[in-house]
Structure 1
């Protein structure tokens, strides 16, 4: 099912909803230049949909959400957007945040605390952004293609995103899903792609304040976000557990969907 909620400043945020009502919600937050469609395997997994209510959001400027001109550099905007989704999803939600989505989740905790949360799962995620921020270290694939991926010239951006999407995963991904990931990236306006990086903010004080169960999942072969970013989160969040996907890339929920879903299901049930 597709629906929407209203986020900060009246911005409409697209949602995909699957699963059983009146059950524990799991909210999925995608990464930079992606969409809720990246969680296709999870939204279609009966082992999850029969036990939980799954809510996957489109960040502002992405997917089916509105594309405002401003707000991409403001932690409160991201915090309020996620708060609106959590209000829709229900109390004690497990939030699964991938890549840039990890920063959005931390923004929510920075502004609103952890009251709406039942637990958090960081997947190939950053928790801060800016030069020399240990929780936001990007890998060689991102560094190689970043400038080109921000271009509004399709002759420059399309080949860069094609190479980036191919290199983002370390294992086989169905061709249709790989093309969907590429299409989602190209559908995000270049101005939005650039705006998300016009930030410089640390989060150590936020991470050490987290008082809910936390799981950090990261591929050892992730070339988009350095594994050291995961180590930083594990070291700062009290009681956080790490789950390393050996030889995994940046998208374990797509590369190793069955393994990822089993880990997520176990964590959510324990929470």
Structure 2
């Protein structure tokens, strides 16, 4: 089912929803220049949909959401956007945040605390951003293509985004999957792609204050977000546990969907 909620500043946020309404909610937050479509395997998994209510959001400027001119550097905007989705999903949600989505979740905790949360799953995620921020350390694939991916010249941006979409996985992925990732990236305006990186904010105090069960999932061969970012997060959140996908890349939920879903089910049931 597709629907929407209204986030910060009246921005409409697109949602994909699966599962029974009276089930415990799991909210999925995608990464930079992607969309809720990246969670297709989870939204179609009966092992999840029969036990939980799954709500995958499109970040502002992405997917089916509005594309406002501003707000991409404002922690309050991200925090209130996620709060609107959590209000829709229901109380005591588990939030699964991938890549840049981890920073969005950190913003929510920074502004609103953890009251709406039952648990946290950070997947290949950053929790802060800026030069020399340990929780935002990027890998060689991101460094190689970053400048070109932000260009408004298609002759520059499209090849870079294609290579990025193809190589973010730890191994070969189906061409249809690569094209879906590429299509999502191209649907995000270049100005939005660039605006998400015009931030410099740390989150060590935010992470130290997390008082909910936390699982940090990361591919050992992630070339987009350095595994050191995951190690930083595990070290800062009290009681956080790590789950490494050996030889995995940046998107274990797509590369190893069956294994990822089993890990998520177990975590959600234990929370």
TM-score bracket for this pair, using the shorter chain length:
over 0.9
Q: Deviations over 1:20-75 (max 9, x none)?
A: 22010000000000000000000000000000000000000000000000000000
Write out aligned runs for 1:160-239 (5 A).
160-239=160-239
Deviation at 1:97, TM superposition (A): 0.1
Deviation at 1:242, TM superposition (A): 0.1
Taking structure 1 as the reference length, the TM-score comes to 0.99
Whether contact under 8 Å (2:17, 2:54) holds in the other structure is: yes
Q: Which residue of 2 aligns with 1:120?
A: 120
Cα distance between partner residues in 1 of 2:217 and 2:81 = 24
Q: Which runs of 4+ in 1 moved over 3 A?
A: none
Q: How many residues align?
A: 271
Q: Which runs of 5+ in 2 are unaligned?
A: none
Q: CA RMSD in A?
A: 0.6
Q: Deviations over 1:49-105 (max 9, x none)?
A: 000000000000000000000000000000000000000000010000000000000
Q: Does 1:12 align with 2:12?
A: yes
Cα distance between partner residues in 2 of 1:248 and 1:150 = 26
Q: Which residue of 2 aligns with 1:45?
A: 45
Secondary structure at 1:138's aligned position in 2? coil
Cα distance between partner residues in 2 of 1:118 and 1:39 = 20
Write out aligned runs for 1:1-271 (5 A).
1-271=1-271
Deviation at 1:11, TM superposition (A): 0.2
Per mean C-alpha deviation after superposition, the further-off stretch among 19-28 and 168-177 is: 168-177
Cα distance between partner residues in 2 of 1:181 and 1:37 = 9
Cα distance between partner residues in 1 of 2:171 and 2:267 = 24
Whether contact under 8 Å (2:29, 2:58) holds in the other structure is: yes
Cα distance between partner residues in 1 of 2:37 and 2:254 = 11
Cα distance between partner residues in 2 of 1:68 and 1:173 = 33
